[in-house]
Amino acid sequence: MKSGLAILCLGLAALVVQGALARTLPPPWCPDLAWLVVVGIGMRWPGFLSGFGLALLLGFSADLVSGSLMGQHALLRLVTYLAAAAASRQLDLSGAVPVAIFVFAMSIAYGLALVSTLSFFAGSDGPGLDFFGTAVAFAFVNVLAAGPTIAAVDRVVARFADEEVGRRGSIPLGYGPRRGLG
C-alpha cells in the first residue's frame, strides 16, 4: 500500500516537473517524465494488476492536465505499461543499453500512437514528414531522462518492499528478467 502511494506521488511529481520544464523547453526537447515513470512501473513493479492500476491513474492524471482527448493518455499509458511489463518479463532489460533501446523504440511508438489517435478521433492530419524528425529528437531526450527516472522508481520499490515483506512474505523486486505475469 505504501509503495503504491509512493509511486503514485512520484508519478504526479514527475507530471508537475514535466509541466514546469515544458514552459521553458520546446516540445521535442522536453522529456515525458510521467510516461517514463509508467515505463519504470512496467519494468520494476512486482505486482501486475496493481501496476496496471497505477498506470491507469497516472494516465488519467496526464489527461486532466493536458489538452488532449480525455482518456487518450490513459489508454496509451496502459499500452505502454503492458509493453514494458511484457518486455521486462521476457527480455533482460537490466542494463543501460537495453533500457535505452527499449525506451527509444517505445517513445517513437508512443508518439505515433498519440498522433494517430488524435487524427482518428479529432479528424486532424496524420503524422507528416516532420513527425519522424521530431519523434527521433523526443526519443533521444527520453532516453537521456530514462536512467534517472527508472532508477527513482526502482529505489521507491526497493525502499518500501522491505516494509511490505513482513506483511505478505517475499516480494520480487524485478531485477533482471522475470517470468510469468504474477
CA distances from 18 to 3, 46, 90, 110, 169 (A): 22, 26, 30, 17, 36
Q: What is the pLDDT of residue 181?
A: 47
Tell me the pLDDT tens digit for each residue of 19-33: 999 999 988 899 999
C-alpha cell of residue 33: 517524465
C-alpha cell of residue 95: 542494463
- C-alpha torsion angle, residues 37, 14, 139, 126 (rounded to 10): 100
Compute φ and ψ for 95, nearest 5 degrees: -100, 170
Taking 50 as the pLDDT cut, the residues of the chain under it are: 166, 168-182
Q: Are 147 and 60 in contact, with CB atoms under 8 Å apart?
A: no
Q: What is the pLDDT of residue 36?
A: 96
Q: What is the pLDDT of residue 170?
A: 44
Helix (H) or strand (E) holding 167: helix 129-168
Q: What is the pLDDT of residue 68?
A: 72
Using alpha carbons, select from 86, 78, 70, 166 the residue that is nearest to residue 121. 70
> CB count, 10 Å around CB of 75?
15
> 123 — alpha (psi -120 to 50), left (phi > 0) or beta?
left
Q: What is the pLDDT of residue 42?
A: 94
Q: Which residues contact 144 (CB under 8 A, 6 or more apart)?
A: 31
Q: What is the pLDDT of residue 34?
A: 94
> 48 — alpha (psi -120 to 50), left (phi > 0) or beta?
alpha
Global confidence as pTM: 0.84
Q: What is the pLDDT of residue 58?
A: 94
Tell me the pLDDT tens digit for each residue of 111-123: 888 888 888 877 7
